Structure 1
Amino acid sequence: MRAGHGDAGCSDCSAPLPEGGVIDHLTPISRGGLSTVANMLMVCVVCNSSKKDRLMDEWSPPLLVIR
């Protein structure tokens, strides 16, 4: 998953992923999602933590704050 994502930023907010990011399920496992490539994205920890077990249409990425 990480190798295929390359050096692209967070799939949700475009923030850089210096640590390689985390894998997020588009449809969470708790809501019937599977751990398939088609159901996973590389995202930053902030987006992953804020999305929790919501579907994409139930959630919006936090605003990216550049310091």
Structure 2
Amino acid sequence: MQLRYSFRLYPNGPQRSALARAFGCARVVYNDALRAREDARAKGGVFPKAGDLSRLLITEAKKTTERAWLG
């Protein structure tokens, strides 16, 4: 037998902005990873693994000025 719970969160103002920032960061990194994999497929290159994408995208993105908010 499986149990299922249903609940709802009501974040206050600062919590909303923190959640929005976290989800925005996740969306940016996900889209960058998707683009990197699509580029590799189009070039016929090696399909990048998750660890390589993490190191390449997240670490390098933090070094750029327009994405400094990621770190």
TM-score range (shorter-chain normalised) is under 0.3
Greater share of helix residues, 1 or 2?
2
Choose between structure 1 and 2 for higher RCO, CA contacts under 8 A separated by at least 6 residues: 1
Q: TM-score, normalised by structure 2?
A: 0.23
Q: TM-score, normalised by structure 1?
A: 0.24
Which has more radius of gyration? 2
